[in-house]
């Protein structure tokens, strides 16, 4: 993949090689970073200015190939699509002391196994927050207004479709938004929803009067949120207790007119239960950026439903977010090699 903008154009906030000192540009010995997948050319080039980067010959390394690539490496690069369980970590050489993951979620890494091996794990939090909230708000509008069905009609050339009541969507403004997980992204979504005059309820382990005052919001139990919300947006990490948080029993508590939004992690939703509810009319619509079957393909039954608006895991896919993620990744690696601890340590 070629990036015509070059490193500086794609990552405008990152110092270019000419601005680094001579020691950084021409180290006597470069530290080694191994990656199980080929990196975008700009990111690989940026890292190579300071480190030796070992990539697989193909898009993704086979297990035995990566073991050879990681020989002598001190850090391993990871994405959300690189499953690093206990078995994988056991194949890493003793030299590896950091897994630098790009993105917020770290459910693809066995953190306990990493701790047992004394391997630090870092992520890139917060830098994608505005773009994630933008994507969630976009999905709310698209799902409520049935833009997927409208797009399908427009593709036929028809200029006046969806004229009957059974094909109409729902107004967004004035409805009740239930945010499951009022962290950074949940708060940014609440800010956007407030501009749409939405009533905001939320559930979080740490509700506060400050959150309530800032967004005119109200903390409720999860069961209350399911029953009261017109739109339910998921912003919780994937843990054992959140896996299939939205199952048939949870859906049964929701309004038949409810719209479900997910930009967190696919397995938070039991997709078979969701498909059944959308097919039967038990739920009005869904807007999804993540899927239970990742990194495999989206279930055909799900993506073909007219009341589902699907995006291919692109909530953070903006020049601004990816630039900031790359900068934060490099900052974590730099900090680890300089001080022994990454800036954003999660294990």
Catalytic residues: 265, 294, 313
Which residue bears the tokens 């939405």? 198
Q: Report phi then psi at 54, rounded to 5.
A: -110, 120
Reduce the DSSP state of residue 189 to 3 states and report it: helix
Phi-psi region of 261 (alpha: psi -120 to 50; beta: other; left: phi over 0): beta
Nearest-angstrom CA–CA distance, 329 and 318: 16
Phi/psi of residue 79, nearest 5 degrees: -115, 175
Q: Which residues pair with 288 in a beta bridge?
A: 262, 310
Q: Compute the distance between CA of residue 343 and CA of residue 122 in angstroms, rounded to an integer.
A: 8
Under a CB-based contact definition with an 8 Å cutoff, are residues 135 and 315 in contact?
Answer: yes
SS3 125: coil
């Amino acid at each position: 993949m070629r990036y015509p903008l070059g490193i500086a154009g794609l990552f405008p906030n990152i110092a270019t090689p000419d601005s680094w000192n001579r020691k950084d540009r021409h180290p006597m010995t470069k530290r080694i970073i191994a990656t199980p997948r080929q990196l975008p050319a700009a990111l690989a080039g940026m890292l190579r200015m300071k480190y030796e980067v070992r990539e697989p010959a193909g898009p993704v390394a086979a297990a035995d190939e990566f073991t050879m690539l990681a020989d002598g490496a001190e850090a391993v690069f990871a994405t959300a699509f690189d499953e690093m369980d206990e078995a994988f970590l056991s194949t890493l050489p003793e030299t590896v002391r950091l897994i630098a993951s790009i993105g917020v979620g770290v459910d693809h890494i066995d953190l306990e196994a990493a701790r047992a091996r004394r391997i630090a794990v870092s992520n890139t939090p917060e830098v994608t927050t505005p773009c994630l909230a933008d994507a969630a708000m976009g999905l709310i509008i698209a799902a409520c207004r049935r833009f997927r069905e409208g797009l399908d009609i427009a593709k036929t050339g028809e200029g006046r479709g969806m004229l009957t009541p059974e094909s109409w969507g729902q107004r967004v403004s004035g409805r009740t938004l239930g945010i499951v997980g009022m962290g950074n992204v949940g708060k940014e979504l609440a800010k956007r929803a407030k501009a749409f005059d939405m009533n905001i309820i939320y559930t979080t382990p740490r509700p506060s009067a400050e959150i309530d005052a800032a967004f005119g919001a109200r903390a409720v139990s999860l069961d209350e949120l399911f029953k009261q919300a017109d739109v339910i947006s998921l912003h919780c990490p994937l843990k054992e207790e959140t896996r299939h948080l939205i199952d048939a029993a949870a859906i049964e508590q929701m309004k038949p007119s409810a719209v479900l939004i997910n930009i967190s992690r696919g397995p938070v939703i039991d997709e078979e239960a969701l498909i059944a509810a959308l097919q039967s009319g038990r739920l009005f619509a869904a807007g999804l950026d993540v899927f239970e079957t990742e990194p495999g393909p989206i279930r055909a039954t799900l993506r073909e439903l007219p009341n589902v608006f699907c995006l291919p895991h692109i909530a953070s896919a903006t020049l601004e977010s990816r630039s900031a993620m790359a900068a934060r990744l490099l900052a974590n690696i730099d900090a680890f090699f300089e001080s022994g601890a990454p800036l954003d340590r999660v294990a």
